[in-house]
Amino acid sequence: MIGNSDPLATQGSSPVDVRPTGAALGAEIRGVDLRSIGEAEFRSVHQAWLDHSVLLFRDQTLQDDDLIRFSRRFGDLDIAPVQETGRRFVEGYPEIYVVSNVVGADGEPIGSLGAGEAVWHTDMSYLPQPPKMSMLYAIEVPPAGGETGFSNMYAAYDGLPDALKRRIEGLQIKHDGTYNSGGYLRQGVTATDDPRTSPGAIHPLVCSHPETGRRNLYLGRRRNAYLPGLSLEESEALLDELWRHATRDELSWYNRWRVGDLVMWDNRCTMHRRNPFAPDSRRVMHRTQVQGQSRPAA
């Protein structure tokens, strides 16, 4: 929060223009150039991000250096995971992960996730300490499709019937590390479809957000998820029921990308997915991720 010593706060107005989407989450921030954002503006953006979980900034012109510099204001960045092709990262920018269907001169895709659907997921929750924030910047967008949807996992938890809340109290969930959201096998992992034995991290199924204190459902992704301690059949049935609640349309908001859009999301209390788009059109996005400061906790 902005303290009383802040002259802008005492004027009673936020230094940035926050426009909630009107959907279950998300807000657009107007009138900010992310290359040169001041301290008071930054604090307002940070608060708006905690309040709305997803922020959209339009009409930005960011080089990788600008994207990294802005991302770093939220904390230390992760080194990007290896691309599906085994390619490591953008030359000279180990923090940048490329999401793209574009095929390079060597015949290999320059990034990950192709042009297909990316299913609902939370980023890298198969790790013990997943990133707290992801930022995606649109460099090239297809004329149609490729929209990214976000869903509110606070509201998903709040909206569960009481009996279901009681049933999942204290349960843990394994977040699978075998496949990414495009269905591609991760680098260095052996394919397996047994949720009980697949690699991954175990987290509380209901987490408390370390900054807002609010409880949220923490599902990660559906494929190969498992609720340890339950039989496979019980685990599958309960997960299916939770996913039906968590993926209702009224919990989500979609961004229809324009070149120059920067979207940043709170990876601890949201999920996201992507619509497919025509494989012969081009989509190029650069992503950074800010390290989490703590493990997901109940």
CB of 154 to ligand OGA, least distance (A): 20
CB of 15 to Mn ion, least distance (A): 30
The site partner of 80 among ligand OGA, Mn ion, none (C-beta below 5 to 8 Å per kind) is none
Q: Give the three-class secondary structure for 290.
A: strand
Kindly provide the residue ranges of all beta strands, DSSP E only, lying in the chain, ordered along the sequence: 17-20, 27-30, 54-57, 97-100, 112-113, 118-121, 133-140, 148-152, 172-176, 200-204, 206-208, 215-217, 252-255, 262-266, 270-274, 284-290
Among 52, 174, 274, 286, binds ligand OGA (CB under 6 A): 274
The site partner of 289 among Mn ion, ligand OGA, none (C-beta below 5 to 8 Å per kind) is none
Torsion angle defined by CA atoms of residues 43, 44, 45 and 48, in that order, rounded to the nearest 10 degrees: 130
Please state, in angstroms and rounded to a whole number, the distance separating the CA atoms of residues 20 and 158: 20
Q: Is the four-CA dihedral 210, 74, 180, 294 of positive or negative sign?
A: negative
Pick the closest to residue 153 from 253, 274, 263, 246 (CA basis): 246
CB of 17 to Mn ion, least distance (A): 27
CB of 38 to ligand OGA, least distance (A): 28
Scan for tokens 């009980």, then name that residue.
196
Work out whether 123 is an interface residue with Mn ion (CB under 5 A). Answer: yes
The site partner of 225 among Mn ion, ligand OGA, none (C-beta below 5 to 8 Å per kind) is none
**Per-residue contact track with ligand OGA, 130 to 169, x per CB under 6 A?**
----x-x-----------x---------------------
For Mn ion, the binding residues (CB under 5 A) are 123
For ligand OGA, the binding residues (CB under 6 A) are 99, 113, 118, 123, 134, 136, 148, 181, 272, 274, 285, 287
